[in-house]
Each structure stands twice: as C-alpha cells, then as structure tokens.
A and B are shown apart, each in its own frame.
Chain A
C-alpha cells in the first residue's frame, strides 16, 4: 500500500517550508492573544504581557483576559491539536492504515465513557478529567487483551478488537446518557462530548501539555525505528527492530496523548485523521520533519478553528463540531484530489 507522496521539493525547500509553518504557528499564537470577544488594543496587550499595567480596573480585566483566559486557552488548543495529530500519525504508521486515527483502539470512546460516568455522578472537574484518562487507557488495554486472546494475533485483529471496544464504549456512553437526569446531567454530558475549550484554564493546559510533550518527545526519539514499522512487521524485524516492544511504546504514547486531549477538550474528531495526511503530502516521509510538520499543522488547525469557535459570534460553537464540519469535507477533497495516486 502506498499512501504517501515522495518528498515533493528539494531538501532545502522542505526545510524552508517547515520553518515557514513554525513561523505561521507563532504568528497565529500571537494573533490569537489579540482575538476575542473582549476588545483589547495591541498596546494594552503589549503592556499586559510586559507587566506594565497601570493598576486600574481595565488593566486588571485585561490581565485576567490575557493571562487567565486567552493564554491558557491558546496553549490548550495548541497542545490538543499537536497531540491529536501526532497520535493520529503514530497510529497510521503502526497500523499501516491511512484511515487509522486516535479513536481507532477505542481511546476516544473509552475516555468519553469515563467522563460521562463522572459527570453522571456529579464529580468535580478534576475527577471528570481523571476518569476520561482512565477510560481511554482502559479501552486500549481491553483492545490489546482481546486481540492477544485471539489465535494468530495480528494487526488486523488488534484493529478489529479496537473497533469492537470503540462500539462497546459508545454503547456504554449511550447507556449513561439514557439513565442521566434529562433536565441537567444529560445536557452536561452532551455538551462535554461535543468538545470545547470554553473553560480551559492553566490547569487544563498543564494536564494536556505533560502527556503531549512527553509522548511527543518519546515518539521523536524513536522516529527512525517507528518509520521501519511502516514497512511491515517482517521487514521491520528483519532490519533489527523489536517490533512488539516498539509497537507497544508507540501505542501507549499515542493513547496517553489522546486521552489527555479528551480529558480537557472532550471528543475532538478529524484532527488526528486529517492532519497527518496533509503533513505527509507537504513534507514527505522523512520521519523527523514529518513529525514536526504534523505537530505544527495540528496545532495550527486546532488553534485556528478554536479562534473561530470563540470569536465569530456571541454563541460559542463546540470545537468538536467545528473540526468535523471543516475536517470531513476537506478530507473528501483530499481523497478526490489525490485519487488513485495515493489511495490505491
């Protein structure tokens, strides 16, 4: 199966493109701090960031908006985008399947179930996030255990078990919603599952940043070995890779990153499926460059979408809904554009 394009540009040109991408992300981060429903002038933003507030009420409000509302939200969006994209790319490589995404082994559904259960029992936010994380990990462990109990354990078996676990946890989410108090709790669960960064604070940013940075760093350190997995189990083993161990590490890292994003942002779909494809199309398969490009593009996408979600109108549009509305047609466009060239 050939699902990527050879490096389209010369090495130097590729590096320039990557630098431009990183610069675009930095520019968008800065712009995002200036975008929002609360009007703040650039001078006020600069003064606040440099700690030159005049102690007035408006200065204090500007400080709250910038440092306690926008900055954590921007940081969370960047980490969510980068984490989901890296996890998606890792899953696609390990499973040698272009349709693989962070939800493949039931991570998203498991995390969604954990959070729904915590919301059903009116647990505090920290417990909801913890339950989401545990639910995500439990779904993957269950997928592994189910796959290992099948004779002739293979990647296809694992994928099938993942699909089963995903369906099972989706059904359990439905069960939780069914028994939830329709007046209040059901709406809370439904809103949470739609995905949103509306209340993201510094603690949320830290919650998602730790697994994403740690998992991302691990994947980056193992990038060359991971790239061998794309050749197939036997070929990778013949080239000296400990396939089983490597696969477990990659899946664990990707799962932790995905579960962390679901913890703070709910279920945000399409980022992990769409972004790795765009990154491969633009930057080719050189592992280090592809990883950086994937993380950067993912962060750019999530941040841009969240900027629209929070600023376009008085109504906050759920992030998960926005990524699906943009991601699904864009993915279809990519498929139509590349046709047999990459999907055969």
Chain B
C-alpha cells in the first residue's frame, strides 16, 4: 500500500515538474543574457525610460498588461490617452528614491523591461525576469520589436510593424525623390536651454525627412554641446526644439534674430505622443514623415501627415484619435 502511495506521489511530482517546465521558456535578450520567462506574459513592468518602453507595448496592444504607473517627471499626457489605466497603477521608480524593488516584486511581473544594464543585473539577481532592450543604432528598433514579438508571442504584430516601418520610409524617400545635398534645408535639433543636440537618433531622422542635420559629424557620443556663436555660424534654416517654452525663448533671443530659422519663423516644436517624437520612440516612422512635412511642406501636406497619424495609432495602438488630439500631438509639449 505504502509503495503504491509512493508511486502515486512520484507520478504527481513528475507531472507537476513537467507542467511547470512546459510553462517556461528561455529567451536571449539584446545584451546576450538568457532569461527564463513564463509561457504566457500578462503582467509587465517597465523601468527606466518608461514612456519609451510603454510605447513598444502599446504597439502590441498590450496597454492592459502594464502593471506599473508613470513617474511624474516622465509623465506625458498621451500615455494616459493611449492607456488610461496607467493613472491607477503604482509608481515603482522615481528620481528621488530610485527603484522601489519590493514594490516591483509585489507586482509579480511575468516580464520586466529595462533599457539599462545595471537595473537588469540587479533585478535579474533577485530572480525577476528582467529583459534588456537596446536601441542605439536606428535599425535596432526592428530587432527590438522582433524580440518583443517573440516574448509576447505576437510575432505577426512585430513583423507588421517592421513592414510598416520600412514601407513608410520607402514611401517618404520615393516621394521626396533624389534631393541634392546642397538643396536640403539646414536643420538643427537643439535643446536651447543647454545648447545641446541631445539625441543622436536625430542624425538619422533629419536626413530621412529630407534635411541636412548640422550636427551630423559621424560622432559616437549621444549628445553634442556647442556655443551660441556656432549656432549662428551654422545659420540653420529650420530649428527643432523639444517644447513650446524653448521655441518662445529662441524666438525672443535677440542674438538669434539673423538666423534664418528665426527670421523666417521656422522654429518647430517636436510633436509629443507616446513620447517626444524627436527622441527614440515607437512613433519614429511618423517622426520622419513630420520632418518631411515641415522641411518640404509643398510635397508633404499636413493633411497627409494627420491621415498617416490616424492610421498609425489605429493600426498599432488600437485607438482612434480626434482631430483635436492629432493637433495636440503635433503642437508638442508646452514645456516649463
């Protein structure tokens, strides 16, 4: 009798172990580390650049899977439009107190997404399924989306996004046609308060939008700082800033009065949707189209851009935006 009972217990244990083993799988993240994840991902924590990471998940229609909120310093209005429940979620990171590790564990995430190695290592050592996503070179977004498609078991969505990405860029390039380097407008994406070009990704989307970035010297570093005189010497025809406060500052600066962009009132605020379009964001194909529309308005109309935005957010975020909301995204952040 006792040996019979023992056989039954052993059988149950084997079944349990095999069932557990069957529910798990191992993936390799963008830093080359192996991470064991449950088969079904339904609770996701995003850490670090939360709006950027949330944007990737919005594209998979996974708004409901995000279980953490937005830190106040990173909050953007449209994050709550795309995922209204974010406002109710607990905030597990802040600039003041760093990561609330115990709160993250309490959220019982199936997946933790980060974009920095130290956080990934720290959470990984605690047994959390932390996956590092990298986006340094422009094409990394495609690898990143493919990996997420694999993790979320939504490979077709990832493939659809990559197709859309390539097709949109190809369509913009075909519409632009061959543009002589000398006839491309001189463009400067600037953080005017710090006199810095803050993100190398702008060296990618400005030329794809038909412009010539004045800070594109093939540098490796993420940002570059320059003097006011250098800015005047560059004489940009188009200035792109991150918020409306910066635009007001630039327009009111007497020392910039002879700069073509200020003189011709071509100082533009980068749109802000899930994230600032001028920086790395899932909305990057729209960034290129927006850049083309402000650099070559005769070829790329505002109506065309709005129609594309409508289609993008509907197709990937599963949300239909009103004309007012499109206008609000295109008006950019009000700034401080």
Contact A188 B193 (CB under 8 A): yes
Query: Provided the pairs A60-B258, A69-B255 are in contact, do residues A37 and B225 lie with their beta carbons within 8 angstroms?
Result: no
**Chain A, Cβ-Cβ closest to B242:** A184
A79 at the B interface (CB under 8 A): no
Contact A38 B233 (CB under 8 A): yes
Query: Provided the pairs A179-B95, A183-B74, A186-B95 are in contact, do residues A310 and B194 lie with their beta carbons within 8 angstroms?
Result: no
Contact A37 B74 (CB under 8 A): no
Contact A37 B254 (CB under 8 A): no
Contact B257 A198 (CB under 8 A): no
For the complex with contacts A187-B198, A315-B225, 6 further pairs of A-B residues with Cβ separation under 8 Å are: A38-B232, A180-B95, A198-B195, A314-B230, A316-B195, A318-B225
Q: Which of A161-192 contact B (CB under 8 A)?
A: 178-183, 185-188, 191
B10 at the A interface (CB under 8 A): no
Contact B229 A191 (CB under 8 A): no
Contact A314 B95 (CB under 8 A): no
Contact A314 B229 (CB under 8 A): no
**Chain B, Cβ-Cβ closest to A180:** B95
Cβ contacts A to B, 26 pairs, < 8 Å: A37-B227, A37-B233, A57-B258, A65-B229, A68-B255, A69-B228, A69-B229, A70-B229, A122-B336, A178-B96, A179-B96, A180-B95, A181-B74, A182-B95, A187-B196, A188-B193, A188-B194, A191-B225, A198-B226, A199-B195, A199-B228, A314-B217, A314-B224, A315-B225, A316-B230, A318-B225
Count of A-B contacts judged by CB separation below 8 Å = 77
| A65 proximity list for chain B (CB < 8 A) | 229, 232
| A318 proximity list for chain B (CB < 8 A) | 225
B139 at the A interface (CB under 8 A): no
A64 at the B interface (CB under 8 A): yes
What per-residue 1/0 map shows which CB atoms of A10-37 lie under 8 Å from chain B?
0000000000000000000000000011
| A residues adjacent to B (C-beta < 8 A) | 36-39, 57, 60-61, 64-65, 68-70, 122, 178-183, 185-188, 191, 198-199, 201, 310, 314-316, 318
- Residue of B196, B226, B229, B233 ringed by the most chain A CB atoms within 10 A: B229
What per-residue 1/0 map shows which CB atoms of B176-216 lie under 8 Å from chain A?
00000000000000000111101000000000000000010
**Chain A, Cβ-Cβ closest to B49:** A183
Contact B230 A37 (CB under 8 A): yes
| B230 proximity list for chain A (CB < 8 A) | 37-38, 310, 314, 316
B73 at the A interface (CB under 8 A): yes
| B336 proximity list for chain A (CB < 8 A) | 122
CB contact between B226 and one of A68, A178, A316 (< 8 Å): that residue: A316
Contact A37 B229 (CB under 8 A): yes
Contact A198 B227 (CB under 8 A): yes
Contact A178 B95 (CB under 8 A): yes
| A310 proximity list for chain B (CB < 8 A) | 227, 229-230
Q: CA of A181 to CA of B96 in the docked complex: distance in angstroms?
A: 8
